[in-house]
Amino acid sequence: MNSILTADLIGLDKLINSDPVAITFFIGYMAMFASAVFFFVERSSVSDKWKTSLLVSGLITGIAAVHYYYMRDFYLQTGQSPTAFRYVDWTLTVPLMCVEFYLLTKPFGAKTSTLTKLILASLLMLITGYIGETSGIENNVMWGIASTIGYLYIVYEVFAGDVAKLARGSESPALNRAMFLLKIFITLGWSIYPIGYMVLPGNLLSGAFEVSSIDLFYNLADAINKIGFGLVIYSVAISETNKNKKVIAA
């Protein structure tokens, strides 16, 4: 009992004394939770074909909120990076973000084969990334290359693959605006993850900055990417819903 109380006091001290990593874990948890509530509530504001998209957005941020709750406590009590918790979170939420690309373009002809390829690429990226982070210095470059291949395939799909072709052929201004923003998330927002991986000891950017600050960047990137991703989906859903209402009214 006393040890639990001591751990809680240590964690509270980190927050009070402005440990930036501890604060971003706390903010990340609250932001993800609030976003999940927002997406679930707003499902009633969009047409039926977009409800699943908002459901998935709510699931992404809701799953992240649960993991951030545990990651926050793990960090506060140990001061160590919650690598296992983080990869469990990513293994659930990143494939769901790929599902969002499919759902976004499904009304315009997306096939399930595209979804399958995106999910497999995301799993390749994450599973090999986790192995690389936990298997020792001598292996992390090799596994990092394998992980990057999965990431680059997703980038290809969004910029030049099936997803990009469907967006260009949709004649939907809202979808094209959304795809432009999602491309920014994929190239700039997601890039923090491979960069964070490459600063690990023995890797390509080793020594570029303190490994202890990786969680700070990961937390900020997670909040921006997952919440921002959901808001882009929401904007398309609302725009397309309002457009359909106008057509019906006319």
pLDDT digits (tens, 9 = 90+) for 98-146: 998 888 888 778 888 989 999 999 999 999 989 988 877 777 788 888 9
Which residues are within 8 A (CB) of 216 and not within 5 positions of it... i.e. 6 or more apart? Answer: 20, 21, 24
Do the beta carbons of residue 11 and residue 73 sit within 8 Å? yes
End-to-end Cα distance, the chain: 68
Which CATH number applies to 2-249? 1.20.1070.10
Q: Which residues contact 234 (CB under 8 A, 6 or more apart)?
A: 39, 42, 54, 57
Among 183, 172, 166, 179, residue whose Cα is nearest residue 242: 172
Distance, in Å, from the CA atom of 5 to the CA atom of 8, rounded to the nearest integer, reads 5
Helix (H) or strand (E) holding 8: helix 2-16
Q: Which of 122, 97, 110, 126 is nearest to 229 (CA)?
A: 97
Higher pLDDT, 246 or 148: 148
Q: Distance of alpha carbon 164 from its chain centroid, rounded?
A: 20
Of 49-58, 109-118, 188-197, 228-237, the range with the lowest mean pLDDT is 188-197
AA letter at 114? T
Q: What is the pTM of this model?
A: 0.86
Provide the residue ranges of all domains of the chain, joining segments of one domain with +: 2-249
CA dist., res. 212 & res. 21, Å (int): 9
Query: To 5 degrees, how large is the angle CA 235–CA 238–CA 240?
Result: 105
